[in-house]
Structure 1
Amino acid sequence: MQVFEDWNQKVKKTFNATNPTAVLTVAEAGNALGLSKDQMKLYVDKNKLTKVPIMRSVHRYLLLKSEIDDIVNKR
């Protein structure tokens, strides 16, 4: 039986394999801050966080883990 792998996790794994910059999915970043995925998207836009674009996808992006860690540590 084939095991389902979340598309965002698959993209993150591929990105991390080819780039030394640590990233998080929007959902992971939201969990770290206690926000839902939709709330996190608004938070990213409001606070002008760095969006790491994903090839072949206009609406999806990854977030820099370092920025999220800084926000969590300041809370």
Structure 2
Amino acid sequence: MQVFEDWNQKVKTTFNATSNEVVLTVMEAGEYLGLTKDQMKLYVDKNKLTKVPIMRSVHRYLLLKSEIDEIIRKS
């Protein structure tokens, strides 16, 4: 039986396998901060966090785990 894997998770897995920088999906980052996905998107724009673009999609992006860790450390 084939297991469903979210498209954002597939991109994240590929990116993490080929980069020195660890990334999170918007939903994962929101969970770390106790925010919903929509709240996290607003938080990203308001605080000008780094968006790691996903090819072929203007509205999808990944976030740097190091930035999320820093926010958690400061709070």
TM-score (ref. length: structure 1): 0.96
Give unmatched runs, 5+ long, in structure 1: none
Q: 2 CA distance for matches of 1:4 and 1:66?
A: 28
Q: 2 CA distance for matches of 1:66 and 1:2?
A: 33
Q: 2 CA distance for matches of 1:52 and 1:27?
A: 14
Give unmatched runs, 5+ long, in structure 2: none
Are 2:28 and 1:28 equivalent residues in the alignment? yes
Within-5 A mapping of 1:8-23: 8-23=8-23
2:62 corresponds to which residue? 62
TM-score (ref. length: structure 2): 0.96
Identity of counterpart residues, as a percentage?
83
Residue 2 of structure 1 and its aligned partner are, at CA, apart by 1.3
Residue 74 of structure 1 and its aligned partner are, at CA, apart by 0.9
CA RMSD in angstroms, aligned pairs only = 0.6
Structure 1 residue ranges, 4+ long, deviating more than 6 angstroms after superposition: none
Q: 2 CA distance for matches of 1:18 and 1:58?
A: 22
